[in-house]
Amino acid sequence: MTGLTAISLFTGAGGLDFGFEAAGFRTAVALEIDKRCCATLRHNRSWPLIDRDVTTVPTKELLAVAELGVGEADVLIGGPPCQPFSKSGFWATGDAKRLDDPRATTLEAYLRVLAEAQPRAFLLENVEGPGFKGKDEGLKLIHSRLLAINEAHGTRYRATIATLNAADYGVPQLRKRIFV
């Protein structure tokens, strides 16, 4: 295999992957649980696709399907489901559950794959909620897990956080997202 490689988690219909593809990356493996998204991906791309829950997929399987070894992927990309950190959860109940939401296990799964696959870099995207002052447990978890991953594996991951608005990049909607 040649070129830059991406391992994609929570691929959805492929938005992050298409951007990385435009930048010269090849999606070596995509993982998505939603059957309609998987059908869309299969229709539009021939990426190797695992259509299961990330919490049930061992990193060894991801790497085997991607035909990559530990440390060979250039980047791990993904946007874990945002419901635990979304403002809509706050509006519905008066507070978002954040890390107490059972769906927040997907953030842990992303970090597990990062630790076990050890790509050269990573990009994690989510709603801006994890960056809100006083509600930033998600970002604190990421920082602490990166320190633990670095200590355990000799990697040098560090998080740079940016909140971006899609409207600033030509998308005709106000859509703020946090990028790690």
Strand partners, 124: 78
Cβ contact 180:123 at 8 Å: yes
For residue 22, which phi and psi values (nearest 5 degrees)? Answer: -65, -25
Contact 171, 165 (CB under 8 A): no
Report the C-alpha gap between 121 and 57 in whole angstroms: 21
82 catalytic? Reply is yes
DSSP state at residue 36: H
Rounded CA-CA distance 85/89 in Å is: 7
* DSSP tag of 83: G
Residues with Cβ within 8 Å of residue 4, at least 6 apart in sequence = 24, 25, 26, 74, 75
| Exposed / middle / buried, residue 1 (Cβ in 10 Å: 0-12, 13-18, 19+) | exposed
Given 6, 9, 63, 82, which residue is catalytic? Answer: 82
- The size of the chain, in residues, is 180
User: Which of the residues are catalytic?
Assistant: 82
